[in-house]
Amino acid sequence: MTKKLFYLLFPLFLNAQINLPTETKQLLLVNANDMNSSIATLQAYEKINTIWIKKFKPIKVNLGRNGLGWENNSLKKINSEVLKYEGDGKAPAGLFSLSGFFGYNKHQFDFPYQQLSHSDICVDDSKSQDYNKHLQTQNISVYKSFEIMKRTDNLYELGIFVDYNKKNLKKRGSCIFIHIQRDENSPTAGCTSMSKEKLFKIMKWLKFSKKPMLLQLPSSRLLLIAPRLGLE
């Protein structure tokens, strides 16, 4: 590495700290070409002893229609990179735990599973005390904005809750899931989507006891941290 290149990249190395918890034994790695890409590739990994092993073939996924936005300022590297906000059409970039599964029908998974009903909503009203929360309620009139989880289409027939904005910071984005794609190349409003067949395969593989996480990054950032994390 030349001295000039080193000084250009040094700030990135300093601020590239994304660390996987030691208890995490499964990982969904979503790799986008850049922060503006609405298409990415998902690679599943499982940690055997101290080695991360690739599982399955890479899966094509769809991201937000406007690409990616960072979870927090500590992950930004240049001024042109932006944070994620409510309604920005961006999927979150960063590292996130997966707290549960959901769907329209009964299923058996090695994960907490919520069979959705017509009373299930996710609140995206940033002024509400229930912002970014999944609730079961018939009293929807108290919310200015919310998402009905049991939709009339199949997008949420299967899905995974992504723990984005766990502190429920106002206007920073809400209701982030991994769910079924609308079409093969159809971007989302901010979630990550794939085919029903591929998503079901991932959900059957994931085990709650292995503390799985989702890592979504542009290629430029992944190149910096993948060797340190032991990912190939």
Question: Is pLDDT at 5 greater than 50 in this prediction?
Answer: no
The tokens for 200 are 């079901």
d(CA 52, CA 25): 8
d(CA 161, CA 176): 7
The larger pLDDT score, comparing residue 72 to residue 179, is at 179
Question: Is pLDDT at 6 greater than 60 in this prediction?
Answer: no
Question: How high is the pLDDT of residue 7?
Answer: 39
Mean pLDDT of the chain: 92
Q: What are phi and psi of 205, to 5 degrees?
A: -80, -40
Question: Using one digit for the tens of pLDDT, what is the confidence trace for 188-208?
Answer: 999 999 999 999 999 999 999
Question: How high is the pLDDT of residue 135?
Answer: 96
Domain locations along the chain: 25-229
DSSP 183-222: STT--BSSSEEE-HHHHHHHHHH--GGG--EEEEEEHHHH
Mean pLDDT of 129-139: 94
Angle at CA of residue 72, ends 66 and 74, nearest 5°? 125
CATH of domain 25-229: 2.40.440.10
Band of pLDDT at residue 111, cut at 50, 70 and 90: very high
